[in-house]
Structures are given as structure tokens and as C-alpha cells.
Amino acid sequence: MQLHPVIRLRLSLGFIQYALNLLWEVDRGKKSPLSPAAIEIIYTAYFHPLYMGDVAEMLGITRSTATDHINYLEREGYVRRESDGNDKRRIRVFVTEKAEEWVLSVEERLFGYLEKCLSRMTKEEQEQFALLSTRFTGVSDDRTFDEAIRGMKKSRDDFSVPLLERRDGRLLRLEEMADERYHAFDDEDTKKSDEIMFEKRIPETDEGIQDEFTVEIYDQMQRNLRDAGHLPSEDYIKTGIDSGEVLEIGPGPGYTGLEWLKATKDTKLTGVEISPEMICMAEKNASDYGMSGRTKYVEGNAMNIPLGNNMFDGVFSNGSMHEWENPVSVFNEIARVLKPGGIFCITDLRRDLSEEIYEYMYNACSPEEIRPGFKTSVMAAYTPVELEEILAESDLSGKVIGHPYGLVITGRAAKK
């Protein structure tokens, strides 16, 4: 049973709160010289001018209690007080080097934690997560951060749902009330979430994009993906495809391979493309990149690649597999043209996208003329189980990795 988003977020926030306590070194059982109030004072004074008169209002405490906090931090060597140069009556709170070192050591752990958690996601997932986090919190920069903090302090008592209830003389537990409030939707919504949007695969064209107008529209879409950092060139490098001569199957306008060339040294790229119009576009783009000397595009069908055996150190392809008429034949051709031990990495859409992700990706398609083609591409794509079966029938061995936005098939050619 899938939990309601509020429940899942509450669990996540509970874990994050615990994780932050560990990173702040205020976790259970560990003595910390700094209270939450002291931490807020240090951080505020580190990033913004902070005056004695501001501390009480900032923390929602009396002036005498605020002074006690500052006195303690000053005794411990975290802050110092000085008169304002322009107004001697105003006392400014400055952080000391000890406090600066403490802030930086905490931030090292926080940034390390974030990087580790984000590493579980693809680039597209990271961008979407960051976007949704911004929408969820309303924080996108320093100004909105300060505004959100002020707003939270003013309205925190307004955030409440009825969870206090007695029945039969006893106070109901949190999980009972949460079940009643949030789980009623599960039966219908879980049923929907378990359904594949496009149950039956509907093959798309196996002739590629041939007409000049559609080529230009597709080129613009790929440029937009490149500019947004959504092409998988770096992912191919991470799999080990980072040197030598490499084959790209279905390069389209060429941006994925050209970005890969930019990020690697002394490499060469050959693209096999079924569409003559698309080859012309790829050659033009290669010239614009200054990569004509490192690229070669040949017309051909991936089921019968017009190139010799054991030629390439790596093979990659992005977004074309759903158009392959016979993927087993293409995988066999990849095995043939790869050098022994060569690496392959194929990335594509998946047919079993969630409804939310499909709608997000559909609406993100730019220009809008490409959206109908995106839908037919998703309908022609495979599921992880289908691809595992296809791969098992071929001469390649590897693994199928499912991500919320698509699929990755990667592995090495046998060492003959």
C-alpha cells in the first residue's frame, strides 16, 4: 500500500531532523556546548549584521534571556561584542574565528550529506528534486530564505490539523489519527499507481526522422536538453566510456556525442544514423563545435551496422532504442563491433513511467511541436522486465537499471 504524500514527507522530515542533529552534533547522548538558540545566533551573525537589540525578537525571547545567550557564547569564545562605528549606542555581535571554524566544519558535513544523497539520483532527478524543494519551501535565494524564516515564525501556530481526539476514554495514538486522515485515498490511488500508463507497446517508426522540418524541431529540442544539462554524456563517461574510438547509434543532431567529445581527450566518434537529413544536421553541428576532424557520420541501419568487427572501445546510444525494429539484432551488432572488453551503455525512455513523471516530461518538451512525438516514443519504449528478456536473448551480457525517468542498459563485451 502506497502511503499518502503527507505521511511520506513526515517520515522523511523525521529522518532529516535526526540526521541534522547528528551533523549539528546535538544528537542524543552527545554533549554539545551549543543550544539551538546559540546555533541560530552564530549562523545569523556569520551571514548578516546582528545587533544585541535584534536577538530577543529573532528568537522570540526576553531581552535578559537573549543577553544570557550572548554572554555564554562570548565566554566560550564564539562571539564578541563591539560598538557600532556609526552609532555607539548599538552593540553589534561578531563571530570569532572559533565560530567560523565551527560553521565551516558543520557545513562540510551538511554538503557531504547532500552530495551523497543526491548521488543516488540521475541528473534529471536532481534537477526535479531541487525544483520541487524550492516550490515546497518557497526558498530560492538568500532573500526568500529570510522571508520564509520570518513568515514561519509569524504563522507557525496556524499550521495545525486536528489530531488530538479521545475515544472510549483514551487518547488516540498518532498513527490511528494519521491513518484516518491520510490513508482513505489509498485503495483507489494505489490501484492507479500500479497501472502502467501504456500497457501495450506500440512500435514507432523504424525509419528515423526524415523530413527537414521535423529534423529542425528535433534539433531545437535536443539543444534545449543540452542547455539544461539533461543529455547523458557525462553518464557515459562514468560507465568507463572515456577514451579511444566510440560508436554512437542514432546520434540524431549529434549533441550527445559532441558533448561527450568535449569532455574527453584524444577521442573519436562515429555515428550510425538511418536518416540522411539528420546526418546533415549532425555534420553541421559538429562543424559548429569545431569537431569535424573527430567525427564521422555514416548512413545505416543499426541492425546491420556498416562497419567492421572489433572496431570500437565503446558504444553508446540515447533515445533511439525504442525505434529499433529488432533490438536483439542491434545488441548482437554492438557485440560484433566492440573490441574485447569494450563498454556499451544504452539509455532510453521507459513505457511504465508514472503518470506524474510522464506529465512533467510531456509539459517540459520544448518546442511544443515535439510533444506528440514524445508520447509515441513513450508508447514505443520498453519496461525493465522486457529489456532484461531481450538482453538475455542477445550476444551481450549486462544489466538493466531502471530510473524514474528512463532505463539504462550497460555492460562489457566478452573478452575473446
The pLDDT of residue 344 is 98
**What would the pLDDT profile of 325-347 be if each residue is shown by its tens digit?**
999 999 999 999 999 999 999 99
Q: Taking all residues of the chain, what is their mean pLDDT, rounded to a whole number?
A: 87
Whether residue 288 has pLDDT greater than 70: yes
Higher-scoring residue by pLDDT: 193, 168 = 168
Same structural domain, 303 and 406 = yes
Q: CA of 282: how far to CAs of 253, 296, 338, in Å? A: 4, 10, 23
Whether residue 363 has pLDDT greater than 90: no
Select from 113, 138, 154 the last residue of a domain: 154
SS3 label, residue 95: strand
Same structural domain, 365 and 291 = yes
Query: According to the per-residue pLDDT averaged within each range, which of 115-119, 256-260, 412-416 is highest?
Result: 256-260
Asked if residue 171 is part of any domain, the answer here is no
SS3 label, residue 307: coil
Whether residue 185 has pLDDT greater than 60: no
The pLDDT of residue 307 is 98
Asked if residue 168 is part of any domain, the answer here is no
Select from 154, 175, 201 the last residue of a domain: 154
The pLDDT of residue 345 is 97
Asked if residue 266 is part of any domain, the answer here is yes
**What would the pLDDT profile of 126-156 be if each residue is shown by its tens digit?**
888 888 888 888 888 778 887 888 788 777 7
In the chain, how many domains are there? 2
Same structural domain, 337 and 217 = yes
The pLDDT of residue 187 is 47
Higher-scoring residue by pLDDT: 160, 338 = 338
Same structural domain, 125 and 250 = no
Give the β-pairing of 312-318 and 338-348. Answer: parallel
Same structural domain, 25 and 145 = yes
Higher-scoring residue by pLDDT: 216, 199 = 216
Q: What is the mean pLDDT of residues 76-87?
A: 89
Whether residue 316 has pLDDT greater than 50: yes
Angstrom distance (rounded) from CA 409 to CA 235: 12
Sequence-separated contacts (24+) of 221-229 with Cβ below 8 Å: 221/365, 221/366, 221/367, 221/370, 222/252, 222/253, 222/255, 222/256, 223/253, 223/255, 224/366, 225/255, 226/255, 226/259, 228/127, 229/123, 229/127
Select from 139, 154, 169 the last residue of a domain: 154
The pLDDT of residue 233 is 95
Same structural domain, 149 and 223 = no
Q: What is the mean pLDDT of residues 27-54?
A: 83
Same structural domain, 244 and 381 = yes
Q: Which of 4-18, 20-34, 313-327 has the lowest mean pLDDT?
A: 20-34
CATH code of the domain in which 122 resides: 1.10.10.10
Asked if residue 352 is part of any domain, the answer here is yes
The pLDDT of residue 355 is 83
Asked if residue 343 is part of any domain, the answer here is yes
Give the rounded percent of residues in the chain with a pLDDT score beyond 70.
91
The pLDDT of residue 272 is 98
Angstrom distance (rounded) from CA 267 to CA 202: 37
Angstrom distance (rounded) from CA 285 to CA 255: 8
Whether residue 33 has pLDDT greater than 90: no
Whether residue 364 has pLDDT greater than 80: yes
The pLDDT of residue 194 is 46
Angstrom distance (rounded) from CA 46 to CA 95: 6
Give the β-pairing of 268-273 and 295-299. Answer: parallel
CA dihedral 177, 180, 181, 183 (to 10 degrees): 120
Cell of 407: 532505463
Asked if residue 247 is part of any domain, the answer here is yes
Same structural domain, 349 and 256 = yes
Name the residue with cell 509539459: 363
Give the rounded percent of residues in the chain with a pLDDT score beyond 90.
52
Higher-scoring residue by pLDDT: 359, 244 = 244
Q: What are the backbone angles phi and psi of residue 402, rounded to the nearest 5°?
A: -95, 130
Higher-scoring residue by pLDDT: 33, 93 = 93
Helices 255-263 and 276-289, packing angle to 10 deg: 30
Angstrom distance (rounded) from CA 389 to CA 261: 32
**What would the pLDDT profile of 204-241 be if each residue is shown by its tens digit?**
765 555 566 689 999 999 998 998 888 999 999 999 99
Same structural domain, 228 and 142 = no
Asked if residue 159 is part of any domain, the answer here is no
Same structural domain, 143 and 73 = yes
SS3 content of the chain, % helix, strand, coil (to 5): 55, 15, 30
Largest CA distance in the chain: 84
Whether residue 195 has pLDDT greater than 60: no
CATH code of the domain in which 239 resides: 3.40.50.150
Whether residue 40 has pLDDT greater than 80: yes
SS3 label, residue 257: helix
Q: Which of 3-7, 98-102, 181-185 has the lowest mean pLDDT?
A: 181-185
Same structural domain, 361 and 216 = yes
Q: Which residue range(s) make up the domain with 301?
A: 212-412
Same structural domain, 323 and 395 = yes
- Residue 240 CB-half CA count within 13 A: 11
Q: What is the mean pLDDT of residues 62-73?
A: 94
Asked if residue 199 is part of any domain, the answer here is no
Angstrom distance (rounded) from CA 366 to CA 371: 8
